[in-house]
Amino acid sequence: MLVAWRYRKRENSFIQKFDPRAWLTFYACFLVSTLAFWDVRFLLPFWLFTMFVLFTSGVRWKEIRRAMLFIVGFVFFFAILTFLTGRGGSEIYGQEHLIREFKAPFSLLGWTPTLKVTVERAFYAVSQLVRVSTLAIMTILIPYSLNPALYGITFKGLGLPDKFAYAMDLTMRFIPTFGRDFQLTMDAQRARGYELEKISGGLIQQVRKMAPIFVPVTIHAIIGSEDIIDAMDLRAFGVGPRTWLQVLDRDFKDRLLIWFGVAVLVIAILLQFFGYGKFWVPEALIRLAGG
């Protein structure tokens, strides 16, 4: 049995007013445009638009709570990690202006843990936070807003051949199903006393102990595939050009959305080409640091 993503038709949803192909094309343009910038002033409009899409999507908080908490935790974790270590940012900025340095009162094997708080690190973390949250929120809304029944025709409409459009469609559909199967299998094994979280022993022992989860989920998926293969064969899949049950229509607002996305992309590329949108730190903060 297939388990679907938590899609449903939502009243007055901004995303769902558009053809999925138009939205995915716009989404692609939006992402590339966002990636063109490190300057928070340029990134903020994208972030605000993302917030607009989020709050008009019709997706309820309780539906995306787990996913959002995961994303927020993940984004914060990496932003803080970057702030603490300075890694990643060194490719974006060359000079750092020190605000304060914290040194641990102890040493570990001759190494004293030191935290340098610089203007660039702090602002880089903010830029990263805005940038990544924009990308992540726009992405997470797609499975909640795109009808799984339209995956195949959407990939086909984007230019993939029938067989690959259908393979991509099935891949996206199977992911939540196998996630569910994994959970069921783990529950069943737990009932028998198996605990994945407490795998111990040597390297080979640890690998061997993963088998009670790994093998049943995989083999169950392969056995289940026979029904799908039979159903597809009975419908003469692959014998000739495929027809699709649903038909997607692009109307004026879809074309408008696509052209809007393309326009944003072109402007973003031009701005980047002329040197705008690079990492930016407010002068006031640099003066504060005595720079």
Partner 1 sequence: MNKSLTNVAISLGVILVFFAVVMFVLGSGEAQEGALFNFSVDQATVVLRFAFVIIGLLIAFAVYYATRENTIWEVGTRQVVWMAIGAALYAVFSFLFNGTVFVVPSLSQVALRPAIAIPMFFGYAFGPVVGFFTGAVGNIFGDALTGFGLSPQWSIGNGLIGFFSGLWMLFRDRKQSINTVLWISGILALLTALLYFLNRNQANMLFFDADNNIFGDAPISFLAGIAILIGFALILAVRYFFGNNEAIATAVTWAMLGNILGLLFAAISDIWINGYSLPAAIVGEFLPAAGPNLIFAAILVPLLVVAYSSVQRQSGR
- CA 113-287-97 angle, 5° bins: 30
Q: How far is the CB of 290 from partner 1 (least distance, A)?
A: 27
- CA 243-247-251 angle, 5° bins: 145
Q: Which of 7, 237, 259, 260 binds partner 1 (CB under 8 A)?
A: 237
Footprint on residues 67-96 left by partner 1 (CB under 8 A): 70-71, 74, 78, 81, 84-85, 87-88, 91-92
Residue 206 gets the label, from left (phi > 0), alpha (psi -120 to 50) or beta, of alpha
Footprint on residues 92-121 left by partner 1 (CB under 8 A): 92, 113
Footprint on residues 167-196 left by partner 1 (CB under 8 A): 167-175, 177-179, 182, 196
Q: How far is the CB of 221 from partner 1 (least distance, A)?
A: 5
**C-alpha–C-alpha distance, residues 93 and 110, integer Å:** 29
For partner 1 (CB under 8 A), the number of binding residues is 71
User: Does the protein bind partner 1 through residue 31 (CB under 8 A)?
Assistant: yes
**C-alpha–C-alpha distance, residues 180 and 188, integer Å:** 12
User: Does the protein bind partner 1 through residue 284 (CB under 8 A)?
Assistant: no
Q: How far is the CB of 179 from partner 1 (least distance, A)?
A: 5
SS3 for 214?
Answer: helix
Q: Which of 238, 269, 270, 278 binds partner 1 (CB under 8 A)?
A: 238
Q: How far is the CB of 238 from partner 1 (least distance, A)?
A: 6
Q: How far is the CB of 157 from partner 1 (least distance, A)?
A: 14
Collect all residues with Cβ–Cβ distance below 8 Å to 274 and sequence separation of at least 6. Answer: none
Please say which residue, 78 or 194, places its beta carbon nearer to partner 1: 78
User: Does the protein bind partner 1 through residue 202 (CB under 8 A)?
Assistant: yes
- CB-based contact 291:58 (threshold 8 Å): no
| Residue whose structure tokens are 């102990």 | 209
Q: Where are the alpha helices (DSSP H) in 36-86?
A: 40-55, 61-85
Q: How far is the CB of 160 from partner 1 (least distance, A)?
A: 6
Footprint on residues 134-163 left by partner 1 (CB under 8 A): 135-136, 139, 159-161, 163
Q: Which of 60, 208, 255, 287 binds partner 1 (CB under 8 A)?
A: 208
Please state at what angle helix 119-145 crosses helix 61-85, rounded to 10 degrees: 160
**C-alpha–C-alpha distance, residues 208 and 134, integer Å:** 41
